[in-house]
Structure 1
Amino acid sequence: MAQDSPFIVDADWLEKRLGEPGLTIIDASWYLPAQKRDARAEYDAAHIPGARFLDQDAVSDPDSKLPHTLASPQHFAQYVGSMGVSADDTIVVYDGPGLFSAPRAWWMFRVMGVFQVYILNGGFDRWKAEGRPVTSEPTKIAPSVFYADFDAGRVVSLDEMRRIVDSHESQIADARSAGRFAGTDPEPRPGVRSGHMPGAHNVPITSLAENGELLPKDRLRKVIEDAGIDLSKPVVTSCGSGITAAAITLALETLGHTDNRLYDGSWTEWGGLGDTPVVTGKE
Structure 2
Amino acid sequence: MKVRLICMDLDGTLFSHHSEVPEINIQALKECERRGIKLALVSGRGCPFIRRIALKIGVDCAIVSANGARIEAGVDGPTVFEGTFTEDEGRFVMNAMFSANVNFEAYTRDVNYVARPELAPEKHVKSLEMYVKAGDVRAEYDLDKMILEAPANSYKFVVFTKDDQAFERARRALDENGIRHCSSAGINLEVMPKGVDKGSAVRRLCEYFGIDENETMAFGDYTNDLDMLKAVRYPVAMENAVDEVKAIAKYIAPLNTEGGVGRFIMENVLKESIWQSD
TM normalised by structure 2 equals 0.27
Which structure carries more helix by proportion?
2
TM normalised by structure 1 equals 0.26
